[in-house]
Structure formats: C-alpha cells, structure tokens
Amino acid sequence: MSWELWLTIAAVVIALAALTLVLVLWSRAHPRTAHGVVPVAHATAREAGQRVAVVVNPSKEGAADLVATVRRVCAQAALPEPSFYETTVEQTGAAQARQAVAAGADVVVAAGGDGTVRAVASAMVGTSVPMALLPVGTGNLLARNLDVPLASVDEAMAVVLGGRDRHIDVGWARVAETETGLDGEPRADAATPGDTQLFLVIAGLGFDAAMVADADDTLKRRVGWIAYFLAGVRHLHGRRMRVQVSLDGGEPVTARLRSIMVGNCGRLPGGVTLLPDAKLDDGVLDIAAIDTRGGLAGWAQLLGEVVMQGAGLHNDLPGKIGRIDHARATRTSIRVEGGEHAQVDGDPMGRVIELEAWVDPGALLVRAG
C-alpha cells in the first residue's frame, strides 16, 4: 500500500472523527424541547389577530399540505384567514411579497427553497414588516441559521406566530465583468454583466459554485442537499483558480484557490459550520479562501479543517495540504483569471471574471426561533 493511500485513509479517519465531535457538541449546544419548539398555543400570545401572508412555491413537494397546515394552525390560534400568493417561473416571490405588504400583512412568510427566500427577502429589505420562513427546499440555508425547524410545518409555524423579530444584515453580489467568446459576445454560460443579486448566507466562486451548477434537480428532490456533494465529486480534481482579492478598497492580493466564499453567516447542511465567526447582525462579511492540494488526501484534510473549526478547534500543524484562510470586510472585489462559476445561496449566477460583494447592515427584519 502506497504512502499516498495511507495518508488518504488517515485523513478521512481524522475528518470523520472531527465530524462526529462537531455533531455531538452541536446537539448539546442546541437542545430541543419534547415538541421541538414552543407550542403554537403559547406562541400566538405575542400578537392576537396578526395577519399572515404566505408566499408559496407550488412546485415544491408538499406545498398543498403546507397550505392546509397553515390554515389549520391559524384557525386554532383564532387568527384571521391567512393569505396565499403563489410564485411562478417569471415571478419568483418578490412581486408577491410586495403585494402582501401592500395588502396589510403583519408577517410575510417565504414558503419554499433558498431561491424563494431570496426573492421574498429582496422585496422585504427596508420594510418594517418581518419576513418568516417555512422551509421546504433542499438547502434551507437561512432557516438553519435562524434555528427555524426544518422537519415540521407545525413547529415552523410556532416560530412564524411566536418567534422573536430581529434585524439581520443582507449581502449583495454584483457581476462586474463576465466572460466573452472569441467573437466578443458573452459565453452561453456567462453571468449577465451588472446582474446584482441578494444573498443572505453565502456567495461564492470556484468549486462550490461549480458544484451548485452541476447538481441534478431530480436528485435534489430525492436525496436533498446530498445531491450537491455528489455533484462536487466531479470537480475534486479541477484546476485551482488564480484569484485577486481586494478588501474594503485595499490593494489586491493574489492567491491560488479552489474556492472563495463571502458569507453573511456560516452554518451549512449536515451540521457543518464554514464560517465560525460569522454573525447575521455584525455589519460585516466573512471571507473564506479555500485551497487544497494532494488530491483526495487534501480534500479529506480540508473536510477535517471545516468540521474542527465548527467545534472551535484549530489545526496549526505545518505542512497542511488543505487549508482555509479567513478575513473580514464590508466590501470585497474578487477577480478570477480566465473566469469561474459564481453562486449566491445555492443559486447559480453563471461564469464571471470579476464579482463585487458588499454588506447592507440590518436591512432585513426577520422572525427567528
């Protein structure tokens, strides 16, 4: 057996042990009640008669059952009949959210995946009406970071009706430059120049965005967020990017990376915390520069780094072939030589050469667990 294979096996074992430790610590730090959250009967005490509006993606599995549950819970709480606004392919939630606010909703609920949440949030920024979540998507990234129950609509409705309102930051990502073909026209998979999109959790370029772009929609419906990891296998041996990163208008720093991520918060599916210091309301963005060499062994070590840092542990040993470097800024510019895929909260933007990102502090009022 070669030393490379021995190193790979050792790295995988260390990563799995670190992951087990993280999950144990996480479960101890996030105890649940017998019913997961505060019972609805107590949750509704915060405001009698509140008007609930739900922006729902009808294409999501279980959407009809969700609507029935919302109606039942609101009736049990003696609340007015909730209003429902269905998204379409052309109107993904922003227009519906604005309509709900104009109609006098006291809380606007995004019922769908991360794309629906982003669309609703883009319309709710700057308003005094809170946005709540009924997560029925694959990643459910913001819901995880707001401690909204993922497995039960009844439990999530307890947060909708009785959670606490808080202001959180919003990130924005803008395509500053995109790729063109030999004829000078944009490539078929290129991002739209000037396209500016909101993100609530993480925007990224490189491996993570390529993984998102290649994830199969049918597989996502069947196995959930694991589909992203299966898609990522195809890019494990992809090229390292040559990246220039500027923070808050400073001089650009050049590095070779697999991925660079700009985060508003850091908890991901599977109990993984990519950005342990990121907070939703601290007014800054957290940047993670991720690199690995050495093939599978490097990726295994990188996994170990991620799960260990989520438990507050750090590996400072020399000679690491997988590493994560962290920085913080209110604004960043990222330029990739030759262009690379970009994503916001798990939604592909297309290939970009330069991406700008900045934070909008306290811009969104949300209802959290």
**Helical ranges in the chain per DSSP H:** 3-29, 40-43, 63-76, 94-102, 114-124, 141-145, 153-162, 207-214, 217-223, 226-232, 296-310
Distance CA 79, CA 73 (A): 9
Where does the chain hold its CATH 2.60.200.40 domain(s)?
170-363
- Burial degree of 161 (CB within 10 A; 0-12, 13-18, 19+): buried
Distance CA 175, CA 191 (A): 7
Provide the 3-class DSSP secondary structure of residue 366. strand
Provide the 3-class DSSP secondary structure of residue 101. helix
Distance CA 203, CA 72 (A): 37
Distance CA 193, CA 256 (A): 25
Mean confidence (pLDDT) of the chain: 81
Distance CA 332, CA 245 (A): 7
CA dihedral in degrees (171, 172, 173, 174; nearest 10)?
-160
pLDDT computed for residue 316 by the predictor: 61
Comparison of pLDDT for 187 and 29, the residue scoring more: 187
pLDDT computed for residue 153 by the predictor: 95
Do 179 and 187 contact (CB within 8 A), yes or no? yes
Q: What is the pTM of this model?
A: 0.79
Give the number of other Cβ atoms within 10 Å of residue 63's Cβ: 18
Architecture of domain 40-162 in this structure:
3-Layer(aba) Sandwich (3.40)
Range in 31-45, 57-71, 85-99, 275-289 with the lowest mean pLDDT = 31-45
pLDDT computed for residue 283 by the predictor: 97
pLDDT band for position 251 (cuts 50, 70, 90): very high
pLDDT computed for residue 19 by the predictor: 45
Question: What does the pLDDT look like over 145-192, one tens digit per residue?
Answer: 999 999 899 999 999 999 999 999 999 999 999 987 777 777 888 999
169: Cα separation from own chain's centroid: 13
Task: Write down the CATH number for the domain with range 170-363.
Answer: 2.60.200.40
Question: What does the pLDDT look like over 197-234, one tens digit per residue?
Answer: 999 999 999 887 776 665 656 655 554 555 555 555 55
Where does the chain hold its CATH 3.40.50.10330 domain(s)?
40-162
Question: What does the pLDDT look like over 302-332, one tens digit per residue?
Answer: 666 666 665 565 656 555 666 788 999 999 9
